[in-house]
Amino acid sequence: MEQNEEVKKTLIASRIQTPDGTVLWSRYRHDCVFYEDQNGDSYMLDGGTAYRRISVNKEPSKDVSIYDDVDWSIQREYRLRGTFDQDGNRVWVPLSKLSNAHLNAILEYNKENDHPLGNIEILSEIEYRKENNIEIPDHDYAFEGVQPIESPNKYVCPKCGSRNVHCHAGMMGDRYECQDCHSDKLCNPRK
């Protein structure tokens, strides 16, 4: 390899940080995430790892994406797998949170359906767990899903004003369920 030749990195997690410290994460293709920053400007990120579409703003966002050149101990927190929680809601869960049985089921599914490419990251996670004595039993993934917005500004229920709100990632949008009044509509984070 020539000295000037640059090694191409693969995008694992497409993320930007807005000026107020909020991180937007587009988790999958066509996952368009919007956020109104405290500076009053709207920020957008779309495309997951398939493509990147980012809003152009007067005060630019900062790229805080994760690439495959970092250690596996970091990658495993950002490599996502789509699955379902106990209520049938779609959630995007990091490999680090999947149960050992779930990882083995993915390997078996890929073997039966001739999908060998997905096995590399699954096998890397299984090996990492063996080396570090990590065992994750079967459990509910409802609270393990990656939220599209990590903000210092809390989510607020539009019905009762409670800040006890949980995000459920969905295929058509994200549902924010209030743990106090049980409102479960699609809504946006509020200041």
State pLDDT tens for residues 54-66: 999 999 999 999 9
Within 10 angstroms of residue 128's Cβ, the number of other Cβ atoms is 17
**Cα(95)–Cα(79) distance, integer angstroms:** 6
Tell the burial category of 5 from Cβ atoms under 10 Å away from its Cβ (0-12, 13-18, 19+): exposed
**Cα(98)–Cα(102) distance, integer angstroms:** 6
Stretch (H or E) spanning 116: none
**107 compared with 188, residue with greater pLDDT:** 107
pTM metric for this prediction: 0.73
Mean pLDDT lowest for which of 3-7, 20-24, 37-41, 91-95? 3-7
Residue 71 · residue 79 · CB < 8 Å: no
> For the segment 140-154, what is each residue's pLDDT rounded down to a tens digit?
666 667 777 776 655
Tell me which amino acid residue 177 is: E
Stretch (H or E) spanning 122: helix 119-131
Within 86-150, strands assigned E span: 90-94, 149-150
